Amino acid sequence: METALKLNVNGEVRQVLAPANHSLLEVLRERCGLTGTKHGCELGECGACTVLLDGEPVLACLVLAVECEDRRVETVEGLSNGAALHPLQQAFADLGAAQCGYCTPGMLMTAKALLDSNPLASEMEVREALAGNLCRCTGYWKIVEAVQWAGRMSTGDMVPPQCLRERNAAGGCSHG
Amino acid sequence: MSIEDRKVKLVLGFAADRQEVELTIPDEEPTPWDLESKFSVVGGKHARVDALAKVTGRAKYTHDINLPGMLFGGFARCPHAAAEITSVDAAEALLVPGVKAAIPMTQDRVRYAGQPVCALAATTRQALAAGIAKVQAVYKVLPHAARIDQAMADAAPLVHRNQQSNLSGSGQPRNAETVAAELEKSAKVVRATARTQVQTHASMETHSSVAKWDGDKLTLWTSTQATFGVRSQVADALRIPEANITVICDFMGGGFGSKFGAGYFTAIAARLAQECGAPVKIALDRREEHTDTGNRPDSIQEMALGVSTDGKLGAYSVKIHGTPGIGRGAGARNPMIYDFPREMRAVAQVEVATNAGPQAAMRAPGHPQGSFALETIMDLAAEAIGMDPLEFRRINDSNPVRLQQYSDGAKRIGWEQRRKNGSATGRFRRGMGVGSSTWGGLGGPQAEVDCKIFRDGSVQVRNGAQDIGTGAKTVMAVVVAEELGLPLTKVSAFMGNTSDPIGPASGGSTTAPSIAPAARQAAYLAGRELKALVAKHLGVNADKLLMKAGRISTAEGKGLAFEEACRLIQSGEISARGKRRSNFRTYRDGVAGVQFAEVEVDCEYGLVRVVRIVALQDAGIIINRLQAESQVNGGVIQGLAYALMEERVMDRQRGHQLNADFEAYKVPGMKDMPEIECVLYDIANGGNNTSVCGIGEPTCIPTASAIAGAIHNAIGARVLSLPMTADKVLAALAQRESGK
Ligand code: FES
Ligand code: FES
């Protein structure tokens, strides 16, 4: 039995048909074609499926889609403004915070919720906020760096990391 | 030497140890990069070429492939660790609405809990789950040995019917007698038994495949470390020509060694798809990922080391027991980083079969186990003769790169402030430790790369192997940009489709050193064609033309911008294929690494906090510093997990994994990470035209050893078993105190 659902995803109202027992994760990925949100465990243990619900990070694998009607769902697909990347996306790309990239969408959404309320988050605050998002590749440091950089970029404190990268690249390679 | 060959002089090594070599190379090879090479793109910090796709959610992983009419496949699994199968009946499952097909897996016996017995395909995942619940399997349950101690016990149940014992392996190892005699004579002999646990790969994307048929042609999307390996294995399993199969892996969410093979599920997905006339996706769940996709074998390593009073290493013997589950290959590797005479080591390997999922290669297979044992006995020996453990390593290690790393690392961690073992007091005690590694990672043939230059001035580089997240795509693009004198943004890189030229399986840290030289050669050959056009157009000698800073010109500046030059291309594109040659002379036969750890132990609760890791690593010439650093950080955190957290726990009674999730199987999170200082060395190692060596694996080898040494230093007692959890730390402390 499928239910008609009205979801507001990334500012766009979508009508979808889905069984009432389907999670938000399944509906986003399989009914809305939004596969940016990742499936890591479906147990609420890895954070790969994190999306924002009315601005708060939730694990989409633990939320039923029917609970989300008339609420604001934000996913990684809605993070950029057209071609203009969100500072978090820019910083993650340029500072190498995405390795295989599988944990990245969940990291980005959790970080967005943090920066929206606390753009100048300290290292410990970033670590605390992202403690539920697992990453098997990066060793986390570049993610912390990128989140802090993005926050400071949005407040005008920092230059986009692109500039940093070009400076480094211009320095070339030194031996030894 | 054919007339086309030429002689080149190269400087290999690094600043502290330069080696001049002369080589003869064929005409189609560019002059290899060496210590004197000046780079404009290579060695910089570059965003990955596919970073944008990853941060926008556009990157499509196998899990993300949803095709019209696609069905979901999955498995009914045996709940017993050992059983004879009386019957498997899927008739009732097929009556569940939405279930479309069932394929029983033919076998008469199951040997681990969670072994698949029947595959199903259904229209939704819910229907699939309902179908799986209806598969009727009748078992005759047998006694099992799911744990190493159970499998080694007298009269243990036999895991393999056709074997007399669960134990197999070398009897008397080579050199056993010489080593025993030498140990007898040694001034000091240290003995210890080290234990390591089973660790699972726990990639964030679970194993998955999507199969789709078009007539007799099969397309497979799969999360793999070996696109070409999957192609041939599936061709074999289904008895269809390789020519009819395309394997695609555009993006994949980690493998760490567990995704080398096609896995039974890939061929089954194809068979289900064939039977149902619809595409089928099989994506394992987290429990299946832990229990049935491989793991790092555990080990029990009994060691004896002889050492002279002035600290020179004598003889070393080690007897290793390890469990590959029902698979094969559980060896702990002891690559003898330190200077033992070859005949002075005796290594006995015994495999212990258990009723558990088969092992699989995991990041530096065998090395972290071997390292933990070797560095343990090294630290104990240093303590026994009253020598500083770093000094002890220095005088027993002749590798020039590591010698440099010992002194650089000691400065960075502040080794001179290290106190004597166990001299710290109070509740929180700090200590420092050190461990070393060696790894091959030289790569080799079996890699071909296409480079195309288009009339509009854009450049493409293609290889059919996969980028498993390490950044292989970006490595190719950087190398091509360097060779053609272009900014990185001008080069598009493609990987992960077997329609493109052959490439290696991503393992042994060989992907970059295999494909980078082929990419460079392809760019060199394509660039040479372009230079010929420019030479003709301008009436200059093509040999005098350089490709630099977006121009093709003579030293005097006569030339064209790259884009103008490309407009001279008549046929629409220049296309060249580079082929990876075998390795020529190398500076060292592998890469060198050393790690230092500083820890703080809470002696009240036994908790260990890693304060800092200094990781010093060589990987030949570094292509992209940003990626290399990320590999080091990632290796260190997996090593830290191995040291302190991760452990597969098997239930003694029922033989199940008790922690097949992320809640009880504790993968490190953001709050667990220490400060990591990463020091990269650019070593012109030779061997191939780029001097690139792999970096993926070596960085996870010595972390646990360095942490173990640091704990030892802090509390004055050795924890001999991984992971070094609070209970073990407290037990070691208690033992030390009662010994006083
Ligand atoms: S998929 Fe939701 S927490 Fe892992
Ligand atoms: S980048 Fe691979 S899991 Fe985080």
- A132 C-alpha to ligand 1 centroid (Å): 10
Q: Are residues A52 and A107 in the same domain?
A: no
Q: Are residues A50 and A104 in the same domain?
A: no
| A176 assigned to some structural domain | no
| Residue A138 CB less than 6 A away from ligand 2 | yes
The domain that contains B424 carries what CATH number?
A: 3.30.365.10
Residues of A in contact with B252 (CB under 8 A): 100
- Amino acid letter, residue B376: T
Number of domains in chain A: 2
Q: Are residues B175 and B82 in the same domain?
A: no
Q: Whose CA is nearest to atom 3 of ligand 1?
A: A44
- Would the CA dihedral through B353, B357, B361, B364 be positive or negative? negative
Structural domain that includes position B711: 1-31+399-442+584-740
User: Which of A27, A44, A78 is the last residue in one of the domains?
Assistant: A78
Q: Are residues A37 and A92 in the same domain?
A: no
Beta B99-104 vs B116-122: how paired, if at all? antiparallel
Q: Are residues B494 and B627 in the same domain?
A: no
Report whether pLDDT(A59) > 80: yes
Interface contact A100-B46, CB threshold 8 A: no
Q: Are residues A143 and A126 in the same domain?
A: yes
User: Which of B528, B556, B579 is the last residue in one of the domains?
Assistant: B579
Residues of A in contact with B48 (CB under 8 A): 93, 96, 98
Residues of B in contact with A125 (CB under 8 A): none
CB of B567 within 8 Å of any CB in chain A?
no
Which parts of chain B sit beneath pLDDT 70?
Answer: 1-3, 740
| B150 assigned to some structural domain | no
- B250 C-alpha to ligand 1 centroid (Å): 22
Q: Are residues B46 and B130 in the same domain?
A: no
**CB-CB neighbours of B572 under 10 Å:** 10
Structural domain that includes position A29: 2-78
Give B514: exposed, middle or buried? Use CB within 10 Å, 0-12, 13-18, 19+: buried
Task: Return the best residue to mutate from A37, A38, A41, A135 for the ligand 1 pocket (most ligand atoms within 8 A of CB).
Answer: A41
Nearest CA in chain A to B613: A139
Q: How far apart are CA B97 and CA B130, in angstroms?
A: 9
Q: How far apart are CA B208 and CA B286, in angstroms?
A: 12
CB of B17 within 8 Å of any CB in chain A?
no
User: Which of B339, B364, B398 is the last residue in one of the domains?
Assistant: B398
CB B448 within 8 A of CB B503: yes
Helix (H, G, I), strand (E, B) or coil at B232: helix
Tokens of B92: 């009732």
Number of domains in chain B: 4
**CB-CB neighbours of A117 under 10 Å:** 9
Please write down the HEC assignment for all residues of B484-539.
HCCCHHHEEEECCECCCCCCCCCCCCCHHHHHHHHHHHHHHHHHHHHHHHHHHHHC
Number of A–B residue contacts, CB under 8 Å: 220
| A94 assigned to some structural domain | yes
CB A65 within 8 A of CB A18: yes
Whole-number pLDDT of residue B427: 97
Q: Report the residue of B204, B250, B703 to disrupt the A interface, i.e. the one with the largest count of A CBs within 10 Å.
A: B204
User: Which of A78, A97, A118 is the last residue in one of the domains?
Assistant: A78
Q: Whose CA is nearest to atom 3 of ligand 2?
A: A135
The H or E element spanning position B218 is strand B217-222
Q: Are residues A102 and A159 in the same domain?
A: yes
Q: How far apart are CA B197 and CA B298, in angstroms?
A: 4
Report whether pLDDT(A170) > 60: no
Q: Are residues A16 and A60 in the same domain?
A: yes
Interface contact A173-B44, CB threshold 8 A: yes
Mean pLDDT of chain A: 90
Q: Are residues B347 and B369 in the same domain?
A: yes
Q: Are residues B246 and B384 in the same domain?
A: no
Give B653: exposed, middle or buried? Use CB within 10 Å, 0-12, 13-18, 19+: exposed
| Residue A132 CB less than 6 A away from ligand 1 | no
User: Which of B398, B430, B455 is the last residue in one of the domains?
Assistant: B398
| A175 assigned to some structural domain | no
Q: Are residues A64 and A113 in the same domain?
A: no
Whole-number pLDDT of residue A165: 47
Place of tokens 């704990």: B711
Q: Are residues A101 and A163 in the same domain?
A: yes
Task: Return the best residue to mutate from B204, B252, B256, B667 for the ligand 2 pocket (most ligand atoms within 8 A of CB).
Answer: B204
Interface contact B38-A19, CB threshold 8 A: no
| A27 assigned to some structural domain | yes
| B153 assigned to some structural domain | no
| A122 assigned to some structural domain | yes
Residues of A in contact with B66 (CB under 8 A): 29-30, 33, 35
- Would the CA dihedral through B357, B360, B366, B369 be positive or negative? negative
| Residue B55 CB less than 6 A away from ligand 2 | no
| Separation of CA B449 from chain center | 23
Whole-number pLDDT of residue A176: 26
Q: Are residues A70 and A98 in the same domain?
A: no
Q: Are residues A116 and A70 in the same domain?
A: no
The domain that contains A156 carries what CATH number?
A: 1.10.150.120
Residues of B in contact with A174 (CB under 8 A): 43, 682
Q: Are residues B99 and B218 in the same domain?
A: yes
Whole-number pLDDT of residue B637: 97
- A175 C-alpha to ligand 2 centroid (Å): 30
Tokens of A173: 């390679």
Interface contact B124-A36, CB threshold 8 A: no
Interface contact A96-B629, CB threshold 8 A: yes
Q: Are residues A113 and A139 in the same domain?
A: yes
Q: Are residues B224 and B84 in the same domain?
A: yes
- Distances in Å between the alpha carbon of B228 and those of B251, B279, B476, B483, B534? 15, 21, 19, 28, 38
Q: Are residues B453 and B549 in the same domain?
A: yes
Q: Are residues B430 and B492 in the same domain?
A: no
Q: How far is the alpha carbon of A115 from chain B, nearest alpha carbon, in Å?
A: 17
- Amino acid letter, residue B354: T
The domain that contains A37 carries what CATH number?
A: 3.10.20.30
Give the ipTM of the model, two decimals please: 0.96
Give B497: exposed, middle or buried? Use CB within 10 Å, 0-12, 13-18, 19+: middle
Whole-number pLDDT of residue B2: 62
Q: How far apart are CA B373 and CA A92, in angstroms?
A: 38
Q: Are residues B74 and B93 in the same domain?
A: yes
Q: How far apart are CA B449 and CA B502, in angstroms?
A: 8
Q: How far apart are CA A60 and CA A44, in angstroms?
A: 8
User: Which of A59, A78, A97 is the last residue in one of the domains?
Assistant: A78
Interface contact B253-A144, CB threshold 8 A: no
Q: Are residues A96 and A60 in the same domain?
A: no
pLDDT tens digits, A105-131: 999 999 999 999 999 999 999 999 999
Tokens of B348: 């006995």
Q: Are residues B90 and B22 in the same domain?
A: no
Q: Are residues B10 and B110 in the same domain?
A: no
Whole-number pLDDT of residue A162: 58
Report whether pLDDT(A174) > 90: no
Q: How far is the alpha carbon of B472 from chain A, nearest alpha carbon, in Å?
A: 11
Q: How far apart are CA A86 and CA B55, in angstroms?
A: 10
| B183 assigned to some structural domain | yes
- A152 C-alpha to ligand 1 centroid (Å): 29
CB B187 within 8 A of CB B312: no
How would DSSP label each residue in B298-320?
-EEEEEEEEE-TTS-EEEEEEEE
Q: How far apart are CA B315 and CA B340, in angstroms?
A: 7
What is the position in ligand 1's atom list of the atom closest to the CA of A41? 4
How would DSSP label each residue in B251-279?
B----TTTTSS-HHHHHHHHHHHHHHTS-
pLDDT tens digits, B78-126: 999 999 999 999 999 999 999 999 999 978 899 999 999 999 999 999 9
Q: How far is the alpha carbon of B227 from chain A, nearest alpha carbon, in Å?
A: 16
